[in-house]
């Protein structure tokens, strides 16, 4: 299932979350296609926060949707948005698994150096678009990016991050500080290049 070029074509998911989950659990192909079509853009965005290689994004998403479709019978409806939240957790988990595999291979490291931060206030009053910020975050070293996303965007605690990535809790906290310093530096560089 390629994530490239897909746009939502259905409104079924957005209107009948509980019903579509039940239909997918029963193997209804139309409902399965609708669920995929209505969520692929958002799930691609979630996955892309962790995984920057387009082929790897597609692999992680394929694995994620296989898991979603095969375990949707375990989904428990808890109100509007709960299916999307459940799917997002699966994509985050599969993305973090990819990061962990890359760390074991040595392809992703948790950098130890705190980047030198430019000492000016150009970023304090900036108005960057969400796309620009997302683009800058995607350039972040993978180890920083994983911890940053897990903590800031996915609301995980340092204890949870440490357990997920197999690192010490204080390593998670220091990686977050380094990620924030890196991000601040890159935003300032971006703004200075624009002016």
Task: For residue range 142-182, list pLDDT tens digits in order.
Answer: 888 889 989 988 889 999 999 988 889 998 999 899 999 99
Q: What is the pLDDT of residue 107?
A: 52
Q: What is the pLDDT of residue 40?
A: 94
Q: Per the confidence metrics, is the pTM higher than 0.75?
A: no
Residue 25 confidence (pLDDT) = 94
Sign of the alpha-carbon torsion through 59, 65, 66, 71: positive
* pLDDT tens-digit map of 53-99: 899 999 999 999 999 999 999 998 888 889 999 999 999 999 999 98
54/18 Cα distance (integer angstroms): 31
Beta carbons of 176 and 158 less than 8 angstroms apart: yes
CA–CA dist 26, 149 (Å, integer): 34
Rg (CA), the chain: 18
Mean pLDDT on 96-111: 72
Q: What is the pLDDT of residues 26-62, one digit of tens each?
A: 999 999 999 999 999 999 999 998 998 899 999 999 9
Residue 3 has pLDDT above 50, yes or no: no
Give the length of the chain: 195
């Amino acid at each position: 299932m390629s994530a490239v070029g897909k746009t939502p074509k259905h409104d079924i998911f957005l209107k009948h979350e509980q019903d579509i989950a039940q239909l997918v659990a029963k193997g209804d192909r139309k409902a399965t296609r609708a669920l995929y079509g209505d969520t692929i853009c958002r799930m691609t965005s979630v996955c892309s926060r962790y995984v920057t290689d387009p082929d790897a994004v597609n692999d992680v998403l394929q694995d994620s949707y296989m898991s979603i479709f095969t375990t949707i019978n375990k989904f428990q409806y808890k109100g509007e948005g709960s299916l999307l939240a459940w799917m997002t957790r699966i994509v985050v988990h599969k993305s973090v698994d990819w990061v962990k595999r890359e760390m074991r291979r040595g392809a992703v490291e948790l950098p130890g150096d705190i980047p030198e931060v430019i000492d000016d206030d150009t970023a304090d009053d900036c108005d960057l678009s969400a796309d620009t910020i997302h683009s800058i975050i995607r350039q972040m070293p993978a180890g920083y990016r994983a911890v940053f996303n897990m903590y800031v965007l996915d609301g995980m605690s340092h204890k949870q991050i440490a357990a997920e990535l197999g690192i010490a809790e204080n390593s998670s906290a220091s990686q977050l500080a380094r990620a924030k310093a890196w991000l601040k530096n890159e935003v300032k560089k971006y703004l200075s290049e624009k002016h």
